[in-house]
A and B are shown apart, each in its own frame.
Chain A
Amino acid sequence: MDDALLNILRTLVLSATPLVIAALGETITERAGVINLSLDGSLSLTAMVAFGVAFATGNILVGILAAMLVGAVIALIIAVASIELRLDQVAVGFVLTLLAADMSQFWGVPYAGKPTAGMTAAYLPLPLLKDLPIVGRVFFDHNILVYVSYALVFGIWFWLFSTRPGLAHRAIGERPAAAFARGTPVNRLRYIYTIVGGSLVGLAGASYSVGVNPGWATPPPMQGDGWIALAIVIFGGWHPFRVVLGAYLFAGLRALAGAIQSSDIAVPVTLLNTIPWLLMIFTLLLVSGGVIERLLRILPRGMQNRARNFLRSDPPVALGTRFDGEQR
């Protein structure tokens, strides 16, 4: 395979990494029944914090941890507002996204356009793996944050579908009353998973400013990606593998749009930018309509359930709802 193409694919994996991590964080949160709608603002703010703190302390790890902390705090606000104060999750998330975005611009002023030399998470081609044909160059020749995203995908998948706490995690998003009946502390776990998901959003923010695209600028270059990540979670049917697929697909389409734009083909830029969205809507139609069910019938009976589970695109049933059953 020619080098140029490999490079494009490699860049694609790299540039999709923040989306992957953010969408996985949101998957964790929503699987527990909570919507963190603050993603877009959170990504900007945590990206700014990561770069700012790393720049001030000269330590990238501290920057990343600070970003995760900020992401966790925003998530905590959503959890308290929805669980304790019984406010609407969507409304609170929406306000927070606007607030966080503005705060990132306000506090980010001193760091905008600062030199970015040495401000990137450690570049670490993995020994042995990087020498694999094609795959090595595309997937294993990156900075650490990219590998973290791989670990997260498999880790979350294993957690959700192969562990007992994972069963409880999914159950509190599906049917909290059933979880309560089995002794699961529904609201406590919702706090935990909202905060864990939020800290991953912080990690995603950091992976822009000290990873993919080091530095800080106004307006924030990642603006809009939060909404994309939210859409990818839906597209991915709340399943880690499909979420990752969605993130790569989206990044690929965006790269394609960029490539066409820089070529001689005369297509309006704005039109190109709509392609990923159109495709996403189309896929959602396909997945949520009866089409899939009809296609499944072609498969042998034994495989149908497994395929249906993988393709399942219904949101967690209790998503966005409160659970009061523990209060007596």
Chain B
Amino acid sequence: MNIELRQIHKRFGSVHANNDISVTFAAGRIVGILGENGAGKSTLMKILSGYQPADSGEILIGGQRVDYSGPQAAIAHGIGMLQQDPLDVGAFSVLENFTYGQPGGLTFNRRDAEWRLNQLCQRFGFDLPANTPVEMLSIAQRQQLEIVRLLALGVRVLILDEPTTGISADQKQQLFNVLRALAQEMQAIILLVSHKLEDVIALCDEVIVLRAGQLVGAQQMPATTSELVSLMFGGQLPPQARIQSHLGDVVLRLENAHLSDRRLAMRDVNFQVRAGEVVGLAGLDGSGQRPFMRACAGLDKLLSGRVMVKDEAMTGRPYRDFLAHKVVFGAAGRLEEGLIAGLTLTDHIALATTPGWAVDWAEAERYTNARIEQYHVRGRATDNIEQLSGGNQQRVLMALLPEDPVALVLEQPTRGLDVESARWIWQQLLARRDKGSAIIFSSAELEELVTYSDRILVFYAGQIYEVPDVTRTSVDELGHLIGGAFMQAT
């Protein structure tokens, strides 16, 4: 069964998100959908999976034109999408999530449903305990649950949106094996939306590339990273050279710290970072990076132990004291924690920079426009922050950081950004590092960690392991470490 898209158009206001896209996906193939942020790949996949209607164009399944509205209707045609944040209900058990949406009468037979769930799980080697609430599962398990749920609904075209973010190397391997099996045994079509080229290279039979809403290329695999990059950006990005910066004195130190958040407790954490040093924190979500970073920035109090900034004891002091010492925290949730929806760019700048209680708005606006210029923000001083795209919001966040911080503690500073935007962010960060700032950052992108870190700490279930020699580590090794490989060794 082939899927054909014909002359798909989709506009959002003045943006032509999909411009005359025609493409055919053949049965049994694994196809990578590449493109930078805003290239239109998510839009195209949402149209195919029924989450958004196209403005014009046709979808043909096995040569038959189909019209559907809504994801449920797409699933009825055998097309299902696994979202980056799986669309499940956290309060439901695994079994309830599996059952909800399956056709049937008024009531459901738990034993039957459980049997069907277990059948599918066994076939793919998934471990999904039926009665566990979904909110207690890892992202990889939630993906597995969505996959078996969609397969049980008869899905033969599976679209995956950035499925490898936040899962370990072993889990990724397992996922890829399942996807290959689906393509080979069931002649399923697998569409992989990803900006991680190594994943695309590892898994896909072919790729298509979108740029600015248009289909600009297709390529049979195997292909090299640089071939794919040049397809995506229309030119090659030079490899990032690793420049060791000059290390200064220790600027931030945790001594015998005892931290905890709701899920885990960490004891006897000792850590120090020097001026001009970049420390990357690797690990799956919820492995302890968050309490660690919040402790470093003084957002959460230690249960015991000490925090020192330079030589001053900061234990138990509020975040504003840390800020006064130029230790700055940047949260992962841009709109949730970092920026304030409903305020304009000028409001943000005024908030961050005005010392007194009265705001000089004319001055704030001048200053804002200067920052917009300097940080290449696509937006106006009077725009509300939520009107900007994610990449531009991140630029505003960078503009809000002080020029000469002592230490930057950043949660996933490039989350959801495309390669170019991420590189830009790092230019800004490295410029500050070269002036003597220490940078502590977490990331789900192993490549990013390996590229930019002078030291890497791996978190697993609240345990911390420092990679002995960062210059010799690899994405692959790191992928195994975040899955807890160092726990067996020690």
Binding site for B on A (CB under 8 A): 162-165, 167-168, 170-171, 174-175, 177-184, 290, 305-306, 308-309, 312, 314, 316-317, 328
- Tell me if B108 is interfacial: C-beta within 8 Å of chain A: yes
Contact with A along B63-86 (1 / 0, CB 8 A): 000000011110100000000000
Contact B133 A168 (CB under 8 A): no
Interface of B is mostly: loop
Measured in the bound complex, the distance between the Cα atoms of B482 and A216 in whole Å is 68
Contact A182 B91 (CB under 8 A): no
Measured in the bound complex, the distance between the Cα atoms of B36 and A73 in whole Å is 51
Contact A171 B106 (CB under 8 A): no
- Top-6 shortest CB links A-B: A183-B72, A182-B101, A167-B100, A178-B87, A181-B71, A181-B87
Measured in the bound complex, the distance between the Cα atoms of B97 and A170 in whole Å is 11
* Least Cβ–Cβ distance between B227 and chain A, in angstroms: 35
On chain A, the residues within 8 Å of B87 by CB distance are 175, 177-178, 181
- Tell me if B96 is interfacial: C-beta within 8 Å of chain A: yes
Residue of A nearest to B81 (CB): A181
Residue from the list A165, A177, A183, A308 in contact with B106, Cβ < 8 A: A165
Contact B90 A305 (CB under 8 A): no
Measured in the bound complex, the distance between the Cα atoms of B96 and A47 in whole Å is 39
- Tell me if B473 is interfacial: C-beta within 8 Å of chain A: no
Binding site for A on B (CB under 8 A): 51-53, 70-73, 75, 87-93, 96, 99-101, 104-108, 131-133, 262
Measured in the bound complex, the distance between the Cα atoms of B153 and A183 in whole Å is 12
Contact B88 A183 (CB under 8 A): no
Measured in the bound complex, the distance between the Cα atoms of B81 and A178 in whole Å is 12
Q: Say whether, besides A162-B107, A163-B106, A165-B106, A309 and B133 are in contact (CB < 8 Å).
A: yes
Q: Say whether, besides A163-B106, A183-B101, A174 and B133 are in contact (CB < 8 Å).
A: no
Measured in the bound complex, the distance between the Cα atoms of B75 and A171 in whole Å is 19
On chain A, the residues within 8 Å of B101 by CB distance are 181-184
Having A174-B89, A174-B92, A183-B75, one finds 16 other A-B pairs with CB under 8 Å, namely: A164-B105, A164-B106, A167-B99, A167-B100, A171-B92, A175-B90, A178-B88, A181-B71, A182-B72, A183-B71, A183-B72, A305-B93, A305-B131, A314-B91, A317-B91, A328-B53
Listed A/B pairs (5) with beta-carbon separation below 8 Å: A174-B90, A180-B70, A180-B71, A306-B131, A314-B91
Measured in the bound complex, the distance between the Cα atoms of B133 and A316 in whole Å is 14
On chain A, the residues within 8 Å of B104 by CB distance are 164
Residue of A nearest to B73 (CB): A183
Q: Say whether, besides A163-B106, A183-B101, A308 and B133 are in contact (CB < 8 Å).
A: yes
Measured in the bound complex, the distance between the Cα atoms of B71 and A184 in whole Å is 10
Q: Say whether, besides A178-B87, A181-B72, A163 and B107 are in contact (CB < 8 Å).
A: yes
Q: Say whether, besides A164-B105, A180-B71, A183-B101, A317 and B90 are in contact (CB < 8 Å).
A: yes
Measured in the bound complex, the distance between the Cα atoms of B89 and A290 in whole Å is 22
Residue from the list A178, A305, A308, A309 in contact with B89, Cβ < 8 A: A178
Measured in the bound complex, the distance between the Cα atoms of B87 and A165 in whole Å is 18
On chain B, the residues within 8 Å of A177 by CB distance are 87
